[in-house]
Amino acid sequence: MNTWQVTRKIIKEHPGLYLLNALFWGLLHSSSLIPGVLIKMVFDRLTGEATAGLNVWTLVALVVAAGVGRFVNLYVGITTYVPFRYTIFGTLQVNMMRYLLQRPGAAALPGSPGEAVSRFRGDVERVMFFVGDWLVDVPGLMIGAGVGLFVLFRINATAALAVAVPLAIVMALSNLARTRLEFYRAQERKAAGRVTGFIGETYGAVQAVKVANGYAGVGRRFAELNEDRRKAALKDSLFLELLRTSFFSTIEISTGLILLLAGQAMAGGGFTIGDFALFVAFLYPITDGIMTTAEMMATQKQVNVSVGRMEKLLQDAPDGTIVAPVELHLNGRFPPVPYTPKTETHQLHTLEANHLTYHFPDSNGAKKGITDISLRLRRGDFVVVTGRIGSGKTTLLRVLLGLLPLDSGEVRWNDALVTERDNFFVPPRAAYTGQVPRLLSDTLSNNILMGMPETAVNIPAAIRSAVMEKDLLDLDDGLETMVGPRGVRLSGGQMQRTAAARMFARTPELYIFDDLSSALDVETEQQLWERMRDGSVRMKDEGGGMNSENGSSLHPSSVTLHPSTCLVVSNRRAALRRADHILVLENGRIADEGTLDELLARCEIMQQLWQGDVGKNQ
C-alpha cells in the first residue's frame, strides 16, 4: 500500500470525523480572506473611493467580529481535531500490535524490538500528521487560495500574475525534489531505527556489559549511531527547510513586485489604496494555500517511506491490515484486562504431541529445527527434555506452544486436536517461562500480576512456591520494589524466580519451563523443584496473605497440594533426578528416552551430560 491508499481507507472508516474536521478547518482557512476584504473597504471609505454604505466604525467592528469568529471556529476545530488525530494514531498502532501478537511469537519481528518501537512511534506519527493535518488543512487552504487569486485577477490581472508566477515556479521545483525527499527520509528513519534498536539491545544485555566492564565500548557505539542519525536527520531537515524557505520567500518577492506594479497602476488611476491593501492581505493566504499543497505533495513521498516500513514490520500481512476497523477507548475509563478464571473445562488429563516437525526457513538446506518428535504427558507428570546445546530443546517448546509454526504433526489436549496452539496454551491451561525471563520496569507485584485482578491472585503463595520469600524480606519496599528495565535491579536468580511466581499465580494445568533454574544455586533449585513436585498455588487465600505494609508477610496455609504437570527443559541434575520421563534430543530428533536410570545405563549422550561440566557440583 502507498500513502494515498492508506489515507483513503482511514477516511472511509471515519468519514464523519474527517468531514467535520475538513469543514471547520476549511472555514477557518478560507475565512482568512474576510479581514482583507474588510480592510479594503475601510481604506476605500477613508480615501473616499467607496460608494455609499457602511461607515468606518462599522467596518472596524466587522473586522473585530471576524477575528472573534475565527477564534471560536479555531476552538471548535480543535475539539474535533484531537480525537481524529488520535483515532488515526490508535488505529494504526492497535492493528499493528494485534497482527504481531497473532503471529508465531518466536518469529513475530523481522528486526530488533528497538526498530519495531521506532516504527510504532515515528512512522505512525508521520501517517497521522499526513491524514490528520495535511489533508484536513489543504482543502480549506486551496479554496482560500483559489478565491483569493480570482478576486485579485478581477482587480488587476498584471499584479495578480506577480503573485501566481513565483508560486508556480516553486511548485514545479517542489515536484522535482520529491524523489530526493523520499530518499533522505528513508535514510533518516533507518538511522533512527538503528539507534532505538541499540538502546533496546543494551537494556537486554546490561548484565553482560557490567560483567565485561564494557561501558566505554557501548558508549562509543552509541555515539557512532547517534552521529549517523544526526547526519541523516540533518540532510532530511535541511533539504525540507530549503524547500520551505523557497516557499515563503515568494511572499517577499511577490510583495516587491506588487509594490512596483501598484505604483504604476495607482498613477493611472486604476488601482486604489484599498486594492493595494487587499493584495497585501491576500498575499499570505494565497501563498500559504498553494505552498502548503506543494509541501503536502513533497511530504507524501516521505510518508510512503513510513508506510513501507510499517508493512515490512508486519511482513506478510494482508493489504489493509493496519487500517482495519478497531475498537478504541480514547475517552473514559480503560476497559478491564481480560481474565479467564480456571474451571473444570481447563483441566489436563493427557497431552500428546505427535510427529512434530519444524525446520527454520533460513537453515540453508541443513534442516535446523526439530524432526518427528512425539511425547506424552499425563496429569502430574514431570517430564524433562535434555540434550546438548543446539539439539532443539527450545525449538520443541516453541513449536508445541505455537510460538513457531508446524511443518507437520499435531498436538492433542485430552485427546482433542489443538488447532490454534498459540491461543490455546495460555493461562489457565498452560504457562511458559523462557530461557531469559521478561520483566517490565514496574513493581515486583505488577510483574507478577501482569494485569490480573488482585482479588483472583494469591501473590504470597506464588512467592513462596517460587522460593522467593527470603529475597522479598531483603527488599526495602517488598512487593512494591521497582525492578528496573527488564529487571536489572534483581539478580539473575531473582529474575527467574519472579517469572516463576508469575506462572504460579495463574495456577495453570501445565507448567512449561525452559532452563528456568540456570541462574539458581543448588539449594534454591532443589527447593523449587520440591515445591513444584509437591503441589501448586491455590488462588484463594485461607488465612494467609499479605498482612504487612510492604506486602512481605507470607503464610504456608496459602498453598494447597495437588499434582503439578511440568514440561521442563534442563540439563541440571536436580531436575533430572525428579523426572518421571526424560527425552534426550540430538540434532532435532529424539536420540533416546526413558527414566534417568535407564538412560544412564545405555545412552552415551545422557552419560556425557551427567558427567560433564553442566552437571558438576550439582
Radius of gyration of the chain (CA): 34
Give domain 3-323's CATH number out of 3.40.50.11240, 1.10.3370.10, 1.20.1560.10, 3.90.1300.10: 1.20.1560.10
Residue 105's pLDDT is what? 64
For 257-294, what is each residue's pLDDT tens digit? 776 777 667 766 667 778 778 877 887 788 778 778 87
Burial tier of 419 (Cβ tally within 10 Å: 0-12, 13-18, 19+): exposed
Cβ atoms < 10 Å from Cβ of 362: 7
Residues of the chain with CATH 3.40.50.300: 347-615
Question: To 10 degrees, the CA torsion angle through 571, 395, 486, 222?
Answer: 110
Cβ atoms < 10 Å from Cβ of 436: 14
- Please give the Cα distance from 404 to 398 (Å, whole number): 6
Residue 37's pLDDT is what? 81
364 — pLDDT class (breaks 50, 70, 90) = low
| Mean pLDDT (whole number) for 553-567 | 56
381 — pLDDT class (breaks 50, 70, 90) = very high
Residue 546's pLDDT is what? 42
Name the 3-class secondary structure at 284. helix
Given a cut of 80, whether residue 51 has pLDDT beyond it is: no
Q: Is the pTM of this model over 0.85?
A: no
Residue 149's pLDDT is what? 83
- 218-247 burial: b if 16+ Cβ within 10 Å, else e: beeeeeebbebbeebbebbeebbeebeebb
- For residue 556, list its beta bridge partners: none
CATH architecture of the domain 347-615 equals 3-Layer(aba) Sandwich (3.40)
Residue 269's pLDDT is what? 67
Residue 606's pLDDT is what? 93
Residue 93's pLDDT is what? 92
Residue 562's pLDDT is what? 52
| Mean pLDDT (whole number) for 61-70 | 81
Given a cut of 70, whether residue 256 has pLDDT beyond it is: yes
Smallest CA-to-CA distance from 138 within 289, 316, 324, 336 is with: 289
- Please give the Cα distance from 11 to 495 (Å, whole number): 46
Cβ atoms < 10 Å from Cβ of 605: 17
Q: Mean pLDDT: which of 111-120, 346-355, 474-483, 524-533 is highest?
A: 346-355
CB 28 within 8 A of CB 289: no
Name the helix (H) or strand (E) containing 567: strand 565-569
Residue 544's pLDDT is what? 39
Given a cut of 90, whether residue 358 has pLDDT beyond it is: yes
SS3 sequence, 315-338? CCCCCCHHHCCCCCCCCCCCCCCC
Residue 198's pLDDT is what? 82
Given a cut of 90, whether residue 429 has pLDDT beyond it is: yes
CB 139 within 8 A of CB 147: no
Lowest mean pLDDT among 155-164, 421-430, 541-550, 581-590: 541-550
Q: Is 462 or 283 the better-scoring residue by pLDDT?
A: 462
Residue 454's pLDDT is what? 83
Burial tier of 566 (Cβ tally within 10 Å: 0-12, 13-18, 19+): buried
Smallest CA-to-CA distance from 307 within 321, 294, 288, 327 is with: 321
Residue 559's pLDDT is what? 40
537 — pLDDT class (breaks 50, 70, 90) = very low
Burial tier of 443 (Cβ tally within 10 Å: 0-12, 13-18, 19+): middle
Smallest CA-to-CA distance from 136 within 82, 59, 189, 192 is with: 82
| Mean pLDDT (whole number) for 138-158 | 84
Residue 251's pLDDT is what? 64
Given a cut of 70, whether residue 48 has pLDDT beyond it is: no
151 — pLDDT class (breaks 50, 70, 90) = confident
107 — pLDDT class (breaks 50, 70, 90) = low
CB 567 within 8 A of CB 512: yes
Given a cut of 50, whether residue 547 has pLDDT beyond it is: no
Residue 357's pLDDT is what? 95
| Mean pLDDT (whole number) for 385-406 | 92
Residue 558's pLDDT is what? 41
Given a cut of 80, whether residue 50 has pLDDT beyond it is: no
| Mean pLDDT (whole number) for 443-463 | 87
Grid coordinates given for 596? 534417568
Q: Is 165 or 140 the better-scoring residue by pLDDT?
A: 140
Residue 549's pLDDT is what? 41
Instruction: Supply the DSSP symbol for 105.
Output: G
Cβ atoms < 10 Å from Cβ of 408: 11
For 125-136, what is each residue's pLDDT tens digit? 989 989 988 889
Given a cut of 80, whether residue 432 has pLDDT beyond it is: yes
Lowest mean pLDDT among 411-420, 526-535, 548-557: 548-557
Given a cut of 70, whether residue 479 has pLDDT beyond it is: yes
531 — pLDDT class (breaks 50, 70, 90) = confident
Lowest mean pLDDT among 202-206, 488-492, 565-569: 202-206
- For residue 412, list its beta bridge partners: 352, 417
Q: Give me the DSSP letters along 324-386.
A: S------SSSPPPPP-----GGG--SEEEEEEEEEE-TTSTTS--EEEEEEEEEETT-EEEEE
| Average pLDDT along the chain | 81
Given a cut of 60, whether residue 536 has pLDDT beyond it is: no
Residues of the chain with CATH 1.20.1560.10: 3-323
Residue 115's pLDDT is what? 76
For 562-615, what is each residue's pLDDT tens digit? 568 999 999 988 889 889 999 999 999 999 999 999 999 999 999 999 987 444
Name the helix (H) or strand (E) containing 537: strand 536-537
Give me the percent of the chain exceeding a pLDDT of 90: 21
